[in-house]
Amino acid sequence: MVGKTHKKDSFLKDSSIYTSSAVISTAIAFLTLPVFTRYLSPNDYAIISLFAMFGNISSYLLSFGIQLASYRYYFEYKDNIQAYKLLNSSNLYFVLFIYFLGGVIIIFLAEWLSSFLFDEKLTVRLIRWSFLAGCLTYLFDYFTSILTAQKRATTFSIIIILKSFLSAVVSLYIIFKYSLTYLALIYGTILSLLIMNGCLVFLSLNVLVFRFSFSSLKKSLLFSYPTTPRQIIGLVHGSFDKIMLNKFTGLSSLGYYVFGAKFANILKIMTESMAKVWMPFFMERAHEEKENAKKSIIKRFYQMTFFFAICGLGIIYFSEEMIKLLTTKEFYPSMYLVPIFVYNYLFGLTGFISSNQLMYAEKLIYRLPTSIIAVFTNIFLNILLIPKYGAIGAVTASVITALITCIILLYFGQRSYPLPVGKWKLAGLFIIIMAFTIPIYPIMMLDINWIYKITIKVIIIVIFIMTGIKIGYVTQDDLTKLNFFRNKKNIITLN
């Protein structure tokens, strides 16, 4: 209550820190776009996408999903830190050993992979560099996930910002100094990952030990192994569309697809930053095993979902202005893909509930049938739509697949750890969002002054917010609660 001793709401504080880091790192990426898009073409961005795709596929596949075990068991062992050190270190040494073996195999198979998968669009050298970048990315995610489990929000945020800044600076230096194009971004990414992983190892010494335990590794693998088939399926799901676009419509179409996703990724980055604080919040409330704790989870879920719905509509309506402001005419066609792409992440918001339900209940095996259905649906839709509609067909296939996936995952999540979600309330929210999205393409096609366009778009978003408040998805107090910090000691008031 206001007026009494104020209790610190770590959720609000940490979420603001994570969101700030996401905003700053995203700002760095977009502020450099006017430079990059004058030196790089859509084809260059397509090559970068294939490069990142192969590295992520190979590294995450070999990891056996063991990162999830290191994250999950922190909450179980945080009062027995020595046991956690042994488990975490065993997991890390296992991953490093597997990556060494995988690297040897990739060196010998690189020529075949370049020809068979990528029609030599990725050279042998790029295949090998791609695997290294993928491994470094996985290790970066591994260490930063532990920081989030420890609620070291400020440390995490500094690392994220430094990585984005360093990658941008190095890439720009290489472009200006050596007149390289896509290779500049690739080298900048690898160098920034090497430096930041070194920093993360130092910061994680409090949860590492020079010991190895087969029993701890076995415990982690038993927890994470159900994710391995899902990872394989998920990686096929995430790469099939790019491979098909490359083969059927060429690098240019893939470039528009990738660039449209880049702007929609603003929402993904924001949701992932919130997930860093949401997951510990969910786990701690779930361990309380009280009905009030479940209600607090759902209340917070709807607050976040509506907030991200506002952000998603903002991206949908202002993607036209962002692309025209930050890029050249060569990239303008991608603005028609952004609104569809955003729904891929809006539907994924249900994962805030379902993914954590499955993780808490240790029922990750339910992700397997979901992934199987998703990958076959996605492959079928891609085969059906890409040859005829190109990049728009690929985006549409992804969105339909995301909707089917979120429904199935929510069903399994409710079976594993029931929560008072309110399925019709949730469905109604997405119907309202879609209704407010319909006008965007007619508005894009209007040949009127840009000031009038922006005014129309702002009015529509304001009406959406008022509709959400009127129906009860969120309260006005939830949106205007700006008085969290009452004094110089950053004490947060609670209603």
Residue 38 has pLDDT above 70, yes or no: yes
Q: Is 247 left (phi over 0), alpha (psi -120 to 50) or beta?
A: alpha
- Short-list 259, 153, 143, 119, CA closest to 201: 143
Please state the φ and ψ torsions of residue 202, each to the nearest 5 degrees: -60, -45
- Token readout for 177 is 């100094």
Is 495 within a domain?
Answer: no
Q: Is the pTM of this model over 0.75?
A: no
pLDDT tens column, 332-369: 888 888 898 898 888 888 877 888 888 888 787 787 78
Q: Are 70 and 95 in contact (CB under 8 A)?
A: no
pLDDT tens column, 391-448: 888 889 988 988 898 889 889 888 888 888 887 888 888 899 889 988 888 888 888 8
pLDDT tens column, 206-219: 888 888 888 888 88
Residue 476 has pLDDT above 80, yes or no: no
d(CA 448, CA 438): 19
Is 2 within a domain?
Answer: no
Average pLDDT of every residue of the chain: 82
Element (H, E) at 472: none
d(CA 217, CA 350): 31
Element (H, E) at 473: none
pLDDT computed for residue 220 by the predictor: 80
d(CA 344, CA 408): 15
Mean pLDDT, residues 135-164 taken together: 88
pLDDT computed for residue 81 by the predictor: 83
When mean pLDDT is compared across 118-122, 178-182, 381-385, the lowest value belongs to: 118-122
The verdict on 29 and 66 lying in the same domain is: yes
The verdict on 274 and 399 lying in the same domain is: yes
The verdict on 192 and 258 lying in the same domain is: no
Q: Are 263 and 334 in contact (CB under 8 A)?
A: yes
Q: Under 8 Å CB-to-CB from 96, ≥6 apart: which residues?
A: none
Is 164 within a domain?
Answer: yes
Mean pLDDT, residues 149-159 taken together: 85
The verdict on 389 and 334 lying in the same domain is: yes
- Short-list 122, 96, 125, CA closest to 242: 122
Is 359 within a domain?
Answer: yes
The verdict on 200 and 288 lying in the same domain is: no
Residues in the chain: 495
The verdict on 257 and 210 lying in the same domain is: no
The verdict on 271 and 416 lying in the same domain is: yes
The verdict on 252 and 177 lying in the same domain is: no
pLDDT computed for residue 218 by the predictor: 84
d(CA 84, CA 91): 11
The verdict on 95 and 135 lying in the same domain is: yes
pLDDT tens column, 288-307: 777 788 888 888 888 888 88
Final residue belonging to a domain, choices 204, 225, 246: 225
Task: Strands of 317-417 (E only): list them.
Answer: none
pLDDT tens column, 48-102: 888 988 888 888 888 877 888 888 788 777 778 888 888 888 989 999 999 999 9
Task: Strands of 387-470 (E only): list them.
Answer: none
Final residue belonging to a domain, choices 225, 257, 282: 225
Domain of 137 in residue numbering reads as 7-225
The verdict on 118 and 263 lying in the same domain is: no
Final residue belonging to a domain, choices 201, 225, 249: 225
d(CA 302, CA 255): 35
Give CA torsion, residues 394, 457, 479, 14, to 10 deg: 50
Is 241 within a domain?
Answer: yes
Is 419 within a domain?
Answer: yes
Hey, CA dihedral for 354, 359, 363, 366, is it positive or negative?
Answer: positive
The verdict on 170 and 240 lying in the same domain is: no
pLDDT cut 90: percent of the chain above it:
18
Is 1 within a domain?
Answer: no
Is 307 within a domain?
Answer: yes
pLDDT computed for residue 3 by the predictor: 39
d(CA 11, CA 13): 6
pLDDT computed for residue 493 by the predictor: 31
- Classify residue 356 by burial, with Cβ atoms within 10 Å: 0-12, 13-18, 19+: buried
pLDDT computed for residue 238 by the predictor: 65
User: 485 forms bridges with which residues in the sheet?
Assistant: 492
Domain count, the chain: 2
The verdict on 239 and 211 lying in the same domain is: no
pLDDT computed for residue 463 by the predictor: 92
